[in-house]
């Protein structure tokens, strides 16, 4: 029966349904190519394609397509599926779609070009890592200038021909002995490809820009200042040499200001702060760089001298909203510490900070309107009584992304609720890569029998909650919002589902066969709107769930792109 079902489903692909893609203001429909050409240029809405990691470089994860909407999403069916064949963990990638072609990468850097209407493989590229090179995760590619650009876990940046998948150039981002890696999608800004350094091995991290045509390095910004650089004094002794501050997710870009925005990770060692006394710039910060030169325009540090692993590496959502009666250019950032920071993206000025988790954070007693931490509750040293600190080190939200809808004015966030018992210790002398400097044990929050999660619809500036959708396990997939007034995501048990963006009512779901850890997208191919979700359960954050819910050990892994559409209309 299942085989006959999928044969029938695949036969539904490729219909020509009339597009009703509205603008942000909802003033009628317009041609798909016009959407692509004008809507993206004016704001953060993706149009016929999904051309970049966040939909557009403003990171809204919102599409102006509305062929699939609240009135018909319950009719949505699978159109095609693509199995990557890579069994190295879950499919965490964000698919990129350009001219109806889907570009997808896997953890072992297998890159595919797939026909977006049929699922037909156009070409594939399989990366051969350097001797001893380690590949553990990959979250996507960038497509621009006739090239598909992908980073690798052994710290290479590769440009592939967009038409054939053949290597055009390949550059080593750094000496492999440094321990850096590239796990997230590059950001293309004009003629530059910008990648962030990850890996969390003790070293001084950086952002690097390369020429998209040749692969030549154009600039590099170190997220830990060296001798003679402003902020170097915030690191004690030689701790700056191993300070981390890894900008390992994908940044955002404002073309009007010509500024690149990136979140940075935790300082190193992760929990133990004794050997890095000071505020440890530019760790746990948002940095704004001149796109042409890589020079620092401004920074805002959310967590000075972090001892909880509350890194700030997540997406920077760029939008314009009124604050106190004045329209401001905003940067909205959901941090692992359970707070949302709202900044003026021209200057870095803090405009508001508000909590977004239901369980009250107790790592501080509060944050002032100037961003100052009040009543720090640092983790104790080993041998001392352990402390229950909320939120846990994986935060209410980490790499799973929010979505912003200009139609509702709300931002949609997947939020986890659990705490941890923390301790810290000095690194063991001589131990290779001993940079943890502590331990943590996850547990349910006070007053609850179990950890849990929820999706929230929030005012991004004030934090006022419009609605909440509860879930009994972790939600680790990104949100997708559309002009059809839908919010879509997947859960740990394998269900992909749609909510009403205004009310949070569940409108549709489909069991995909594996848990969700990636980022769904939507696009147009042959006049038909498709919604594609990566599936496959796993990752470091997912691995902790068996300690919170024993049944999680049986949840299904995989590496499959599942693509949905409305049924084909009669001709």
Own/partner long-range contacts of 153-158 (Cβ < 8 Å, ≥24 apart):
153/109, 153/129, 153/181, 153/182, 153/183, 153/199, 154/129, 154/130, 154/181, 155/180, 155/181, 155/182, 155/199, 156/130, 156/182, 157/182, 157/186, 157/193, 157/195, 157/210, 157/215, 158/109, 158/127
CB-based contact 352:323 (threshold 8 Å): yes
CA 1, CA 154: separation in Å to the nearest integer?
Answer: 44
Could you give the CA distance from residue 112 to residue 130 in angstroms, rounded to a whole number? 21
Q: Look up 309 and say whether it is catalytic.
A: yes
Tell me how far apart the alpha carbons of residues 462 and 237 are, in angstroms, rounded to a whole number.
Answer: 41
Own/partner pairs for 385-389, CB < 8 Å, 24+ apart? Answer: 386/421, 386/422, 386/423, 387/421, 387/422, 388/362, 388/419, 388/420, 388/421, 388/443, 388/446, 389/308, 389/362, 389/363, 389/419, 389/420, 389/421, 389/422
Q: Which of 43, 309, 398, 485 is catalytic?
A: 309
The helix (run of H) or strand (run of E) holding residue 540 is helix 540-543
Q: Are 379 and 439 in contact (CB under 8 A)?
A: no
**Cα dist from 417 to 130, 213, 223, 499, whole Å:** 40, 45, 30, 21
* Nearest residue to 496 via CA among 510, 479, 478, 517: 510
- Name 261's bridge partners: 252, 288
Distance separating alpha carbons of residues 359 and 363, to the nearest angstrom: 12
Please enumerate in sequence order all residues whose Cβ is within 8 A of that of 343, keeping only pairs 6 or more positions apart, or say none: 286, 300, 330, 331, 332, 333, 349, 350, 351
**207 token code pair:** 């952002």
Q: Which residue's structure tokens are 């390369």?
A: 210
**What phi, psi does 473 have (nearest 5°)?**
-115, -165
Structure token pair of residue 154: 């052994």
Residues forming the active site:
309
């Amino acid at each position: 029966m299942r085989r006959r079902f999928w044969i029938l489903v695949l036969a539904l692909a490729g219909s020509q349904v009339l597009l009703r893609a509205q603008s942000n203001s909802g003033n009628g429909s317009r041609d798909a190519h016009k959407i692509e050409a004008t809507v993206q240029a004016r704001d953060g809405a993706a149009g016929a394609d999904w051309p970049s990691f966040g939909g557009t470089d403003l990171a809204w994860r919102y599409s102006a397509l509305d062929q699939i909407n609240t009135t018909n999403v319950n009719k949505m069916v699978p159109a095609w599926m693509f199995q990557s064949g890579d069994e190295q963990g879950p499919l965490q990638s964000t698919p990129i779609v350009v001219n109806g072609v889907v570009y997808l990468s896997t953890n072992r850097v297998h890159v595919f070009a797939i026909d977006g209407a049929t699922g037909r493989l156009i070409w594939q590229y399989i990366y051969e890592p350097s001797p001893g090179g380690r590949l553990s995760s990959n979250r996507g590619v960038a497509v621009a200038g006739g090239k598909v650009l992908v980073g690798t876990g052994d710290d290479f940046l590769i440009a592939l021909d967009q038409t054939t998948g053949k290597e055009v150039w390949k550059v080593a981002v750094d000496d492999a002995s440094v321990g850096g890696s590239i796990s997230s999608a590059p950001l293309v800004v004009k003629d530059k490809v910008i990648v962030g350094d990850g890996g969390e091995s003790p070293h001084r991290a950086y952002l690097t820009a390369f020429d998209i045509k040749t692969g030549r390095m154009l600039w590099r910004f170190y997220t830990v200042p060296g001798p003679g650089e402003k902020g170097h004094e915030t690191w004690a002794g030689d701790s700056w040499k191993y300070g981390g501050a890894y900008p390992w997710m994908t940044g955002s870009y404002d073309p009007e200001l010509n500024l690149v925005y990136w979140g940075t990770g935790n300082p190193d060692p992760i929990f133990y702060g004794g050997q890095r006394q000071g505020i440890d710039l530019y760790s746990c910060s948002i940095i704004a760089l001149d796109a042409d030169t890589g020079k620092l325009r401004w920074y805002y540090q959310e967590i000075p001298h972090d001892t909880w692993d509350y890194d700030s590496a997540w997406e920077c959502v760029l939008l314009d909203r009124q604050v106190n009666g004045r329209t401001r250019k905003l940067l909205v950032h959901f941090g692992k510490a359970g707070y949302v920071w709202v900044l003026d993206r021209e200057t870095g000025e803090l405009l508001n900070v508000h909590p977004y988790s239901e369980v009250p954070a107790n790592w501080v007693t509060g944050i002032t309107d100037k961003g100052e931490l009040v009543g720090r509750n640092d983790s104790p040293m080993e041998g001392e009584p352990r402390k229950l600190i909320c939120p846990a080190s994986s935060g209410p939200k980490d790499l799973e992304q929010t979505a912003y809808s200009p139609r509702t004015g709300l931002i949609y966030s997947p939020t986890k609720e659990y705490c941890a018992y923390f301790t810290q210790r000095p690194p063991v002398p001589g131990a290779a890569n001993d940079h943890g400097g502590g331990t943590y044990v996850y547990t349910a929050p006070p007053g609850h029998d179990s950890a849990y999660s929820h999706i929230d619809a929030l005012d991004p500036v004030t934090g006022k909650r419009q609605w909440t959708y509860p879930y009994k396990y972790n939600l680790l997939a990104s949100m997708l919002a559309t002009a059809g007034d839908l919010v879509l995501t997947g859960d740990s048990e394998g269900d992909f589902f749609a909510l009403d963006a205004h009310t949070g009512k569940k409108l549709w779901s489909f069991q995909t066969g594996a848990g969700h850890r990636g980022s769904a997208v939507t696009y147009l191919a042959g006049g038909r709107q498709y919604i594609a979700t990566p599936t496959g359960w796993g990752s470091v954050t997912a691995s902790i769930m068996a300690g919170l819910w024993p049944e999680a050990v049986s949840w299904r892994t995989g590496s499959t792109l599942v693509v949905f559409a409305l049924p084909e209309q009669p001709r």
